[in-house]
């Protein structure tokens, strides 16, 4: 591929990536009124009830103090509950969604899904399959080992993932 064509492809890939993130964040805000970090927290707590603030912090890539403030806001909004201590540490409280939080979790995943369905709607079945194969090949090149592996999936519908086929789960 010629250098100029490669630069064009890089631009298209970057623009597509940003457009997808922008559309998802707008869909989340329109559907829930919450920002990206709050949605990521709701999705992670909904996916893994009982998370500690420290585990959540790593998954949503915020500082400890920012995560505590975010959880405080979600608790005050009636979306999250702090439960008892975890693994004998009374300071490490587990996080769970309230009924309102669970409804928001479901609406958030639906908003994300609608944005992605909009993008895939222009592809035929064979193109969708080919695109999936390319994504499985490209994604590991964009994800670093460690916490990055959790962060990249922070608003994913974990129930839809086949962990045995996850292109980043077995990078180590």
What pLDDT digit, counting tens, does each position of 91-100 carry?
Answer: 568 999 999 9
Using alpha carbons, select from 23, 33, 20, 36 the residue that is nearest to residue 104: 33
* Number of domain units in the chain: 1
- 13: tokens are 């890939």
Q: Identify whether 19 is part of a domain.
A: yes
Q: Higher pLDDT residue, 156 or 70?
A: 70
CATH number, domain at 35? Answer: 1.10.10.10
Predicted local distance difference test score (pLDDT) of residue 50: 94
Query: Which contacts of 76-79 are long-range, i.e. CB under 8 A and separated by 24 or more positions?
Result: 79/42, 79/104
Q: Identify whether 145 is part of a domain.
A: no
Q: Identify whether 32 is part of a domain.
A: yes
Q: At a CB cut-off of 8 Å and minimum separation 6, what does 58 contact?
A: 147, 150, 151
Mean pLDDT of the region 71-75: 97
Q: Identify whether 58 is part of a domain.
A: yes
Predicted local distance difference test score (pLDDT) of residue 115: 96
Residue-range definition of the domain harbouring residue 37? 3-123
Q: Identify whether 35 is part of a domain.
A: yes
Q: Identify whether 161 is part of a domain.
A: no
Predicted local distance difference test score (pLDDT) of residue 164: 77
- Sign of the Cα torsion 31, 37, 42, 47 reads positive
Confidence at 87, pLDDT banded by 50, 70, 90: low
pLDDT above 90: residue 149 = no
Rounded CA-CA distance 116/9 in Å is: 21
Q: Identify whether 73 is part of a domain.
A: yes
Tens digit of pLDDT for each residue in 9-62?
999 999 999 999 999 999 999 999 999 999 999 999 999 999 999 999 999 999
**How many CB atoms sit inside 10 A of residue 69's CB?**
13
CA angle 28/109/56 to nearest 5° reads: 85
pLDDT averaged over the chain?
89
Rounded CA-CA distance 146/128 in Å is: 30
């Amino acid at each position: 591929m010629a250098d100029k064509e490669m630069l064009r492809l890089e631009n298209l890939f970057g623009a597509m990536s940003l457009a997808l993130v922008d559309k998802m964040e707008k869909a989340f805000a329109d559907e829930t009124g919450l920002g990206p970090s709050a949605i990521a927290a709701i999705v992670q707590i909904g996916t893994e009830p009982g998370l500690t603030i420290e585990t959540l912090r790593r998954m949503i890539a915020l500082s400890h103090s920012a995560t505590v403030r975010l959880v405080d806001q979600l608790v005050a909004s009636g979306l999250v509950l702090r439960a008892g201590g975890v693994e004998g540490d009374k300071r490490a409280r587990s996080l769970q969604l309230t009924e309102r939080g669970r409804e928001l979790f479901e609406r958030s995943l639906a908003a994300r899904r609608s944005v992605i369905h909009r993008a895939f709607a222009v592809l035929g079945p064979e193109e969708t399959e080919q695109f999936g194969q390319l994504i499985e090949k490209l994604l590991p090149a964009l994800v670093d080992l460690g916490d990055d592996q959790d962060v990249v999936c922070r608003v994913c519908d974990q129930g839809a993932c086949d962990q045995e086929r996850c292109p980043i789960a077995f990078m180590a």
